[in-house]
Amino acid sequence: MSKKLESALATFAPEGASALRRGLARVLGAPEPRFVSAEPLPRGRVLRLRFAVAEGVRGLVVKRLSPECAHRERAAIERWLPRVGLASQGPPLLATVAERAGRCTWLVYEDLGDCALSLRAANPACVRAAVQLVAELHARFTGHALLGEARCLGADLGVPFYTASVRDATRALEALLRSASLEPGRRSLCERLLDHLAVLRAEEAERRSQLEAWGGPETLLHGDLWTINVLVRPTGRGFEARLIDWERTGVGPVCYDLSAFLLRFPPERRAGILASYQDHCERHSAGARRWPGRAEWNALFDTAERGRLANSTLWRALAALEGHPGWAFEELEWHEESFAALGPVLPAEPLPRAACGGSDRGPDREPPIGGRACDT
């Protein structure tokens, strides 16, 4: 094996480099694959590898997850998506390699290249392809029998997610405040965050009523629907979209996915994208659906985003309690700013029926659900 590949794997997967090397050899069909390059990708738990093969250069993407997150992602790719005819719209999983002690799992994917929607969002055709796939996913899984299994292996991302995230983040921050060594600036930060969470606790009944009235039926949710997790590639029939990174999938109302997706676009584009989503959903649904108006959508999106921020606050507070105060408090400060800055997702003008083509700020970087749990 190339010393450069050995070095790259030892850095990326120190607890299981040899097992991962054997897994890569099986995928490539060569005991000593000819290594070309290694490139760490954002989030620190993904590695792109390139190898020389007879046809040229082949790329593989290796993703490091905790065993439970890997199990959830595999269930989505290998079981749930195929059951509704969307097998080819997931990531191309080639192999699974488990660390001997069970601390982590590596998933090996075919590299589809740099085609994330985040890089192609200016192209209306790419956005339409992505929106159509999201609408198909939500429509095909509405009322599906597999939602019970997805809830057990994934998460309930409706009201239970909001309620538990606010409650558990409050407990973690209160535990931080009881720390005698907490310096005044960090103590003040915790108190401000607790103030935000207290408001969310007081609003829980109202937000529950809004979700019950306007949230619509449960469906399978991607759970992390940022444009970096949507790949769009040209084909002979136009653009083809795929959804990657399924380790945060769950069950709940579509507003949870849609708020994360829409906030990645400028405010003036969001209403048109949402209208396109609604049109595509109606084409793939058996019956007509009564859609929320702009005010109702904004209320639903606000619940989804504040629940996400509360959940991420929980994991940063736990990290601070467990001895990682430096980066944890830096991110808690960003969370407090995001609570204060979060505004309506949709602009003030009426929602159009066109296709894609105060403060509106949402989080400008990802507040990871489950914190470092999925990263091991």
DSSP result, 91-155: --EEEEEE-TTSS-EEEEEE---S-BHHHHTT-HHHHHHHHHHHHHHHHHHTT-TTHHHHHHHS-
pLDDT at residue number 157: 97
Buried b (16+ CB within 10 A) or exposed e, 344-369: bbbbeeebeeeebeeebbbbeeebbb
Q: Which residues contact 217 (CB under 8 A, 6 or more apart)?
A: 142, 143, 253
Tokens 């921020």 correspond to: 309
The mean per-residue pLDDT over the stretch 328-342 comes to 95
Task: Determine the Cα–Cα distance for residues 372 and 376; give it in Å rounded to an integer.
Answer: 6
Q: How many CB atoms lie within 10 A of CB 343?
A: 13
Name the band, by pLDDT with cuts 50, 70 and 90, for residue 371. Answer: very low
pLDDT at residue number 55: 82
Q: Which CATH class is domain 3-110?
A: alpha beta
Name the band, by pLDDT with cuts 50, 70 and 90, for residue 44. Answer: low
Q: Which of 219 and 4 is assigned the larger pLDDT?
A: 219
How big is the chain by its Cα radius of gyration, in Å? 21
Q: How many CB atoms lie within 10 A of CB 32?
A: 11
pTM of the model: 0.90
Task: Determine the Cα–Cα distance for residues 120 and 113; give it in Å rounded to an integer.
Answer: 13
Task: Determine the Cα–Cα distance for residues 114 and 111; give it in Å rounded to an integer.
Answer: 9
pLDDT at residue number 373: 38
Whether 211 shows a pLDDT value over 70: the answer reads yes
Phi, psi of 183 (to 5 degrees): -70, 160
CA-closest candidate to residue 313, choices 136, 151, 190 = 190
Whether 372 shows a pLDDT value over 90: the answer reads no
Query: Which H or E run includes 62?
Result: strand 56-65
Whether 33 shows a pLDDT value over 90: the answer reads no
The mean per-residue pLDDT over the stretch 249-261 comes to 98
Reduced to 3 states, what is the DSSP secondary structure of residue 193? helix
pLDDT at residue number 43: 66
Q: What is the pLDDT of residues 92-124, one digit of tens each?
A: 999 999 988 888 999 999 999 999 999 999 999
Whether 356 shows a pLDDT value over 60: the answer reads no
Q: What residue segments make up the domains of the chain, in order of their start? A: 3-110, 117-370
Share of the chain above pLDDT 90, in %: 76
The mean per-residue pLDDT over the stretch 73-97 comes to 97
The mean per-residue pLDDT over the stretch 205-227 comes to 97
The mean per-residue pLDDT over the stretch 203-227 comes to 97
Q: Which of 361 and 187 is assigned the larger pLDDT?
A: 187
Q: Which two tokens stand for residue 47?
A: 């590695």
3-state SS record for 224-249: CCCHHHEEEEEECCEEEEEECCCCCC
Task: Determine the Cα–Cα distance for residues 191 and 310; give it in Å rounded to an integer.
Answer: 14
CA-closest candidate to residue 239, choices 131, 110, 135 = 131
Whether 42 shows a pLDDT value over 50: the answer reads yes
pLDDT at residue number 364: 52
Reduced to 3 states, what is the DSSP secondary structure of residue 217? coil
Residue type, 248: R
Please, are residues 280 and 289 in contact by the beta-carbon 8 Å criterion?
no
Whether 202 shows a pLDDT value over 50: the answer reads yes
Helices (H) and strands (E) in the chain, counts: 14, 9
Name the band, by pLDDT with cuts 50, 70 and 90, for residue 360. Answer: very low
Q: Which of 90-99, 148-157, 170-179, 363-372 has the lowest mean pLDDT?
A: 363-372
Q: Which two tokens stand for residue 30?
A: 């060569």
Q: Which of 179 and 88 is assigned the larger pLDDT?
A: 88
pLDDT at residue number 297: 98
Residue type, 162: Y
pLDDT at residue number 374: 39
Whether 160 shows a pLDDT value over 50: the answer reads yes
Q: Supply the CATH classification number for the domain 117-370.
A: 3.90.1200.10
Q: Which two tokens stand for residue 117?
A: 């929607």
Please, are residues 105 and 122 in contact by the beta-carbon 8 Å criterion?
no
The mean per-residue pLDDT over the stretch 296-325 comes to 96
Q: What is the DSSP letter of 156?
A: B
Task: Determine the Cα–Cα distance for residues 227 and 260; give it in Å rounded to an integer.
Answer: 9
Rounded to the nearest integer, the mean pLDDT of the chain is 90
pLDDT at residue number 375: 40
